[in-house]
Amino acid sequence: MGPALIHFADRLQSAVRRCRNPVLVGLDPRKESLPEGLWKSRGTEMTDPAAIAAAYRRFCCEVLDVVAPLVPTIKPQMAFFEQLGPAGSAALAEVVSYARQKGLIVILDGKRGDIGTTAAAYAAGLLDTEQPGGWKADATTVNPYLGDDGVEPFIEVAARSGGGAFVLVKTSNRGSGMFQDLLVGGRPLFHYVAEYVERRALETRGKCGYGLVGAVVGATYPEQLAHLRTLMPHTIFLVPGYGSQGATAKDVAAAFDANGGGAIINNARGIIFAHTLKPYSERYGPTNWQRAVEAATLDMIAQLRAETPAGKLA
């Protein structure tokens, strides 16, 4: 890591303290949920990938205009852009660049994972600030199924680029138990992933005490979340599942350290598509969708401050 680089965990913790909240806004654009007016032919089926990608770019940038003054970090979901082919890739690159210009920490959610040299290509593309044409995100998500030599290239590139890598430990979906919860010597598989991640977090920790290796831990399993917090004291948690997936502020409280640090809480649909959800849909209507985004973000911040250690940030 060069002398000019600030450690990822220190940057993230500092951004959370500056914004006084740990909200991670997920950018998961879906054609069917975009607000009216974002394309001309609203109501008809769009089939031009370039037009859909342009609508995603504009929508995401207009979401960023609202949330950039409020939250520390955002997470574009690569799947929804990749779905559109090359036009989607171009739109995603513009969204990442716009977010970074606004000072947001960008976690590009790709859940990539491959064997050594191929993982190194993903890592370079996603995180390396010197990679020609690369995505230049601050951090990414990584799938651990391939083992340590599939994860280490992400850690190496993150270390030299001032970036971070969040490894999937326990995901928020219903089916996550199928393999992640299988018992190995009386303990679930995801504990073994957790131990590896915590070891690498400890070995890569910054001034704040947290490592540049983080963990994805779903909010939909609050007891497991609490246990993982004790198992992984040097690991920042990226917590999905809040809002649309059913988890509440109380459910995520155990993700934080005593000072309200150590965790970022993701909400995608509950914020970016607030214009489709009560009470925001009634209060603002579809044309004031950006006010719905703002209100949903502020409500989430207030809920986290009221119900979790993140209240200490306020």
- Number of Cβ within 10 Å of residue 244's Cβ equals 16
Respond yes or no: is residue 111 known to be catalytic.
Answer: yes
Q: What is the nearest approach in angstroms of its own copies to the Cβ of residue 112?
A: 7
Q: Site mask, its own copies, residues 37-66, x = CB under 8 A? A: ---------xxxxx-xx-------------
Q: Name the segment binding its own copies (CB under 8 A); options: 133-141, 253-261, 282-290, 297-305.
A: 133-141
Q: Which stretch binds its own copies (CB under 8 A): 68-76, 107-115, 201-209, 282-290?
A: 107-115
State the residue for tokens 């209507």. Answer: 285
What length does the chain have? 314
Half-sphere exposure of 237 (CA within 13 A, CB side): 33
Which of the residues 31, 40, 102, 111 is marked catalytic?
111
Contact with its own copies (CB under 8 A) among 13, 73, 77, 308: 77
Per-residue tokens: 100: 């970074």
| Rounded CA separation 111/213 (Å) | 14
Q: Provide the 8-state DSSP code for 268.
A: S
Q: In whole angstroms, how close is the CB of 141 to its own copies at the nearest point?
A: 9
Token reading at 284: 């603002």
Q: 110 vs 164, which CB is nearer to its own copies?
A: 110
Instruction: Of 160, 118, 138, give the one whose Cα is nearest residue 4.
Output: 160
Residue 135 in contact with its own copies, rule: CB under 8 A: yes
Q: Given candidates 129, 134, 202, 302, which one binds its own copies under the rule CB under 8 A? A: 134
- The 10 Å CB-count burial string (b at 16+, else e) for 202-228 is bebbbebbbbbbbbbbbbbbbebbebb
Give the residue from 52, 11, 65, 8 showing the smallest Cα distance to 289: 65
Distances 104 to 115, 213, 247, 248, 285 between C-alpha atoms, Å: 31, 19, 25, 24, 28
Contact 151, 145 (CB under 8 A): no
Q: Which of 14, 129, 131, 248 binds its own copies (CB under 8 A)?
A: 131
The residue assigned the tokens 């969204």 is 95
Q: Which stretch binds its own copies (CB under 8 A): 61-69, 106-114, 224-232, 259-267?
A: 106-114
Out of 101, 149, 207, 233, the only residue in the binding site for its own copies (CB under 8 A) is: 149
114 binds its own copies, rule: CB under 8 A = yes
Rule CB under 8 A: say whether 231 interacts with its own copies.
no
Query: Can you tell me which of 22, 125, 214, 261 binds its own copies, judged by CB under 8 A?
Result: 125
Residue 83 interacts with its own copies (CB under 8 A): yes or no: yes
Residues in the site for its own copies, rule: CB under 8 A?
Answer: 28, 46-50, 52-53, 77, 79-80, 82-90, 92-93, 111-116, 118-119, 121-122, 124-125, 131-135, 143-150, 168, 171-180, 182-185, 189, 192-193, 196, 240
Residues involved in catalysis: 111
